[in-house]
Amino acid sequence: MAATLPRASKSPVTSSFLSRPQSEFDSGINTSTAWTEHLELGSAPPSDDDDEVYRPARALYDFEGKAEFRELSVDAGDELAVVKEDLADGWSLVKDASGEMGLLPRSYYTFTSEFTPAPDLDVSQSHRREASSSTITRKSSRASQDNDQPIVPQHTGDWVFPSFRQSLLGGKSLNRFSSFVTSGAEEWVLKGKAADTVVTEASSHNRLPSIESEDGDNDSEESGNRLSRIGQGDVDRHFVDAGHAWKEKLPPFRVLVHSPSKRTSSLSGAFTVYNVTSLFYAQVDSDTPPGSPTRITVQRRYSQFVILHTALARRLPGIALPPLPEKQYAGRFSEDFVEARRGDLERYIGRVVRHPVARYAEVVTFFLGCESDIEWKRLIPQHLSMPPAGPSFYAHVYHPAFNLDLEDAEEAVRRFETHTRAVGKGVQGLRNIFGRVREARIEMSKAERLLSYSLLSLITSKPLTSAPTTGTVEEDNHYNAKDAGLMNEDGAWCWREGCSNCLKLTKAMQKTSEALQNVGDLYDDHARRRQLATHESLKAVSHPSSIYEGVVSTHRSTLTRYRECTKEIHADEDMAARCETVLNTTMAEMETFHTQKNEDFSTLTKDHLDGEIEFYEQVLHRLRAARKCFDEPQYEALAMSPRQPSMYERELENPRLGSPPLLQPCPHVFDSAPMRPVSVAIQEGVGMILGPRGSVFGKFW
């Protein structure tokens, strides 16, 4: 039986901050009358029979409350007293050190340790297990035999028995800002209370107990937009199969971001709008050719992508979401930047819908399917007002029981972390080398043009300006080519008039020179267009260790809890089961990375090879056309008419050997880039819609 501290016969000696007046407060906070009544009752003198105290807590994040909604503003680290923990929609009633009382989201604070005996209390060495709270409790304590013994609040980290912390955490303090804490995994493991998920107005599904099986799926209600009709079942329930992989509820589909256009608003000024088209393919037999896909097109701007990313991070805290592309102000309407931003947004939303869980999230279907601006403005506040899922996310993860081995889980995360770091390092090197390959193609373009000019200069006897060496004597340059015997009247490269052999040779070599100009143009275009797209795509597979850092951190912290709760002296089967749920989630994310890595690098390699094949086929086509000029009957036909000057002869005096700088991909979010602070400010703020709470989890994923 868990040891507990005795309740004092009289009110304990506590500060006014921890004293609690008797109240009949309406926990629903349904009306302002209930709030007023509570304040009036709170001003009355406390009853002598009321010996209850508030639970001490500490704010995890900054929160700017709105006075009109009776919300309390706090800063990270503020000490709080929780009056009522479980109110509607994930809120709690709390009081700060100044005595001000208000509402605060449950996930924005954590309880500090339960009350400990006063320093002079004699604590025995009997080891009895205490009930878990939202933080780790002490390993050894016993109930006080003195009802008059005062109790004092213990702050987080001030342990009476330091050996407990060292044994559980390896001598390290638990980072309250780690992904294990901020994602709600810690609260789920310790308390397991998140199964009673609160349903907000924006949701169309019902509350589900964590023990419900997949067979109990109910059809979801049809939502107001067309895209939401593609899904069946509860969107907040996620299933992991025996192979530690997410079970897909929806078939894959494609999303294209295209046709950007500039718009102007009297309120926000100029901005760019992108068409976002979702393509749904009907499932047919392998022998049947696929038909035309169903298309749904909406228009979205960058700030709406920020809203989507923020809402996803709040509702899916256990998922490794791709980072949102950078925000940029300088040159944001230039054609090159708009095209780069379009590609980045397409890769971002494409990776979101490829995730087997994120693709059927309500905010994703709303983002891709809401075609009315009026409907968007009406419904988006409901999605943004939904509290962070926190532990409720894990409460709705279903998996086969006892499908994890501790040693396998430890080995998996060790190998996964090493592998993702190696992949990230290798991709960074590949990106650098690929940039040099593109530069080499530009140099090859210049070399092909120079070869073309040199060949044309040879057969026309016109000097090539700015060439490294032409072999032409400078004092001979003033001679007229025809008068000097360098060229005859037909334009042939010969001193004899009417020489048909030289005429055929000259015209064939001129076509070769023109073909080399085309080859040079192909090299330049290939480096600037096709290879740029491949270079941009490499960003999508870069920095996997940073993207999955939260998954690895949560996995390791959960393993630590799992070891402790499975020890014989402290066995807790319920906590162990909840640890298995979190571990199944992280293992499923590792499997998602494994699947997507194979798809990504297969697609990248095939696209690169296809691009090279197409490029060299075009080069070969032009070279073969020039080669045919030397074969009969084409070669004989060249003598039928005089040679016409080439369009490139005029460029011999000023050859096109220079080229504009090669456009480089926009930096990745995790690259070192000067624009980084701007994007962080935008993504963390999300305008004035969400306030400071808008992107809390976005900092960690």
Q: What is the dihedral of CA 645, 648, 653, 654, to 10 degrees?
A: 160
Q: Look up the CATH number of the domain holding residue 258.
A: 3.30.1520.10
H or E stretch covering 295:
strand 294-301
Phi, psi (rounded to 5 degrees) for 94: -130, 165
The pLDDT mean for the chain works out to 76
Instruction: Give a three-class secondary structure readout of 585-621.
Output: HHHHHHHHHHHHHHHHHHHHHHHHHHHHHHHHHHHHH
- Domain with residue 75: its CATH number is 2.30.30.40
Q: Is 125 among the domain residues?
A: no
> Is 371 found in the same domain as 438?
no
Stated length of the chain: 701
Q: Is the pTM of this model over 0.85?
A: no
Do 367 and 245 belong to one domain? yes
Tens digits of per-residue pLDDT, 190-215? Answer: 888 644 444 333 333 333 333 333 44
Whether the pLDDT of residue 29 is over 90: the answer is: no
Asked if residue 2 belongs to a domain, the reply is: no
Cβ pair 524, 532 in contact under 8 A:
no
- The tokens describing 314, both together, are 């709040």
Same domain? 375 vs 434: no
CA angle (337 as vertex; 332, 342 as ends), nearest 5: 105
Residue 134 has pLDDT above 70, yes or no: no
Rounded distance between C-alpha atoms, residue 617 and residue 599, angstroms = 26
Residues 78-105 have a mean pLDDT of 86
Q: Does pLDDT of 131 surpass 90?
A: no
* Residue 179: inside a domain: no
> Model confidence over 392-411: pLDDT tens digits?
999 999 999 888 888 999 99
pLDDT at 480: 60
Helix (H, G, I), strand (E, B) or coil at 102: strand
Average pLDDT of span 369-378 = 92
Longest Cα–Cα distance in the chain: 127
- Peptide linkage before 660 cis (omega within 30 of 0): no
Q: Which helix (H) or strand (E) holds 263?
A: strand 254-265
Instruction: Quick: pLDDT tens for 494-539.
Output: 998 889 999 999 999 999 999 999 999 999 999 999 999 999 999 9
Tokens read off for 173: 């303090």
CA distance 694 to 698: 9
- Per the DSSP assignment, residues forming a β-bridge with 295 are 279
Whether residue 333 sits in one domain with residue 440: no
Examine the pLDDT at 232 and tell me if it is beyond 60: no
- My answer on whether 242 and 358 are in the same domain is yes
Residues 513 and 579 in one domain: yes
Same domain, 243 and 99: no
**pLDDT at position 453:** 94
Give the total number of structural domains in the chain.
3
Q: Is residue 441 domain-shared with residue 577, that is, in the same domain?
A: yes
Assess if residue 207 is contained within a domain: no
Chain position carrying tokens 């070769």 = 512
The pLDDT value recorded for residue 483 is 58
Which pLDDT score is estimated for 52? 53
- Is residue 626 domain-shared with residue 496, that is, in the same domain? yes
In a 3-state reduction of DSSP, which class is residue 204?
coil
234 and 370 share one domain: yes
Around 232, how many Cα atoms within 13 Å sit in the side-chain half-sphere? 9
> Tell me, what's the pLDDT at 169?
41
Per the domain annotation, does 235 fall within a domain? yes
Strands 397-398 and 238-239: parallel
pLDDT at 154 over 70: no
Q: Are 236 and 396 in contact (CB under 8 A)?
A: yes
pLDDT in tens, 91-104: 888 999 888 888 88
The answer to whether 39 touches 23, Cβ cutoff 8 Å, is: no
For residues 672 and 325, give the distance between their C-alpha atoms in angstroms, rounded to a whole number.
14
Residues 554-612: tens digit of each pLDDT: 999 999 999 988 887 778 889 999 999 999 999 999 999 999 999 999 999 999 999 99
84 strand-pairing partners: 93
Which among 185-194, 243-252, 326-335 has the top mean pLDDT? 243-252
Quick one: which of 55, 56, 53, 57 has its CA closest to 11? 53
Domain assignment of residue 409, yes or no? no
Per-residue pLDDT for 157 more than 70? no
In this prediction, residue 109 has a pLDDT band, given cuts at 50, 70 and 90, of: confident
Among residues 398, 416, 450, the one where a domain terminates is 398
Task: For residue 446, give the CATH number of its domain.
Answer: 1.20.1270.60
What is the spatial distance between Cα 281 and Cα 252, in angstroms, rounded to a whole number? 9
What residues have CB less than 8 Å from 57, skipping those under 6 apart? 79, 80, 81, 82, 94, 109, 110, 111, 112
Domain stops at, among 90, 116, 142? 116
Boundary (domain end) residue, out of 94, 116, 138: 116
Residue at 396: amino acid letter: H
C-alpha radius of gyration, the chain, whole number: 35
The mean per-residue pLDDT over the stretch 614-641 comes to: 94
Residue 508 lies in a domain: yes
In contact, 150 and 121? CB cutoff 8 Å: no
pLDDT 10s digits, 242-263: 889 999 988 899 999 999 999 8
pLDDT band at 75; cut points 50, 70, 90: confident
Residue 32 structural domain: 16-116
pLDDT confidence band for 672 (50 / 70 / 90): low
Q: 645 φ, ψ to 5°?
A: -60, 145
Let me know whether 329 and 478 are in one domain: no
* Position 278 in a domain: yes
> Are residue 550 and residue 588 in the same domain, yes or no?
yes
Mention every residue, 6+ apart, whose C-beta is less than 8 A from residue 562: 406, 576, 579, 580, 583
- Which of the pair, 418 or 124, is modelled with greater confidence? 418
